[in-house]
Structure 1
Amino acid sequence: MTADIEVVQFNDPRLQHLTEAGYVVVGESWGARLRLSDPPDLSVLSAAVVAATEQGFLIEELDPGWAPQVTALEALNHADYPFTPATSVPHRDESDMRELWKSGYRLFGAITDGQLAAVSVIGLTATRAETEFTSVHRSYRLRGLAVAVKAASITALADEGVRIFGTGGAQINAGSIRMNEHLGYAIEERWLSLTMSQ
């Protein structure tokens, strides 16, 4: 049985009514936007990619041939994603991954010796480009690869005229927040997940 979850923005007037009714916060999440100038200044993004390539990683867009490695990386990392009711990450098999490409998503990876070390997935909505997820192999964390693959994805779409980018995640994931702020994202939405206290 799944608990009844209410997800509201932290400044929503319903929040007070929910807490007075006995609801408690069980998760916090956020949404952020990167708004590029026109023409855009991509120097920070370029520097992030260069920093990874100087460590010997190849940063490039991935074709569907990488689906097995993306699937394996996500399976390895699934338990590491911070969970909130508003930011749950689905288990994806290889057919789900291939569907990302078919649906128009673009995937950017960090590769070393033919192996995928990191990936970032981005897609277009009506108003912006939105990052679906960014993932780094445990053996290669804290080397700037998440920043690099995300920067590569932003640069590619910026070169095609996109100027507004969105992303989000769990409040508990401080590393993700720092990484996105480094790239120029600003948090514009904060969400609280609440359920009735037992």
Structure 2
Amino acid sequence: MGKTIVLPAQASLRAELEADGWVVVARSFGAQLNSDSIHEQRLHAMVARADGSVRELGDADVDAVLNLDATTIADYPGSVATQHTPLDRRTATPSVSRRAFGAFRPGGDLVSMTFVDIDGVEAETHFTVVHRAWRGRGLGIAVKAASVLTLAAEGVTRFRTGGSVDNVAILRANDALGYVRDEEWVTLAQNVR
């Protein structure tokens, strides 16, 4: 593979590139949830059903965040458009503009987390991840639901998220939370002969 380029799926340039031998190597999406569409009771139930406890993360959780990030760094599907850059101590530390929510198993280990970037009344999910051994238990949905409920209560009105179309779990989670997909992107790679 040679160079890659990320374009909206409907971009006219896509057809030109494909005619020149470029190939689609990944697809990604964007989705939105507005606060007036949030079904609070359903989201609270998602948090309550989590296998473990769910709460907002803080400074005391940074080591656990770094450990889970290192454990799951190879688990992000897709290509350049959905790559996850490994966290360092600074990026693993939540702040006013970068909030984080986690799920802890009964023994206290962090097994799922989501980080959300805040800009005024808008929030963009940076990433959500679940430890491989704890997938399929509703933890990714629970941490995203907790983030939406908390931030909406604080005045956030527009939530954005995205990811790889190959990540069936996050697509299902977003659908369950009420996100509506409104963008599709393709990653094209130059076919080197």
- Alignment TM-score, normalising by the size of structure 1: 0.90
- Other-structure match for 2:42: 44
Q: How does 1:159-174 map to 2 (within 5 A)?
A: 159-174=153-168
Task: Note if 1:97 corresponds to 2:125.
Answer: no
Residue among 136, 139, 144 paired with 1:142: 136
Query: In 2, distance between residues paired with 1:130 and 1:148?
Result: 17
Residues 137-175 of structure 1 show CA distances to partners (whole Å, capped at 9, x for unaligned) of 222111101100110000011101212111110111111
Contact 2:99–2:118, Cα closer than 8 Å, also in 1:
no
How many residues are treated as equivalent by the alignment? Answer: 191
- One-letter identity of the residue aligned with 2:98: Y
Q: Which runs of 5+ in 1 are unaligned?
A: none
Query: In 1, distance between residues paired with 2:17 and 2:96?
Result: 38
What RMSD, in angstroms, separates the aligned Cα atoms of the two structures?
Answer: 1.7
Residue among 114, 128, 132 paired with 2:122: 128
Shift in Å at residue 10 of structure 1?
Answer: 0.8
- One-letter identity of the residue aligned with 2:101: F
- Other-structure match for 1:24: 23
- One-letter identity of the residue aligned with 1:17: E
Residues 40-74 of structure 1 show CA distances to partners (whole Å, capped at 9, x for unaligned) of 5312211101111xx4x111111111011011101
Contact 2:47–2:142, Cα closer than 8 Å, also in 1:
yes
The verdict on how the C-alpha distance between 1:123 and 1:94 changes in structure 2, with shifts beyond 3 A counting, is same
- Alignment TM-score, normalising by the size of structure 2: 0.92
Query: In 2, distance between residues paired with 1:8 and 1:91?
Result: 24
- One-letter identity of the residue aligned with 1:3: G
The verdict on how the C-alpha distance between 1:3 and 1:91 changes in structure 2, with shifts beyond 3 A counting, is farther
- Other-structure match for 1:177: 171
Query: In 1, distance between residues paired with 2:96 and 2:155?
Result: 20
Percentage of matched positions with identical amino acids: 36
Task: Note if 1:87 corresponds to 2:82.
Answer: yes
- One-letter identity of the residue aligned with 2:41: S
- One-letter identity of the residue aligned with 2:80: P
- Other-structure match for 2:68: 73
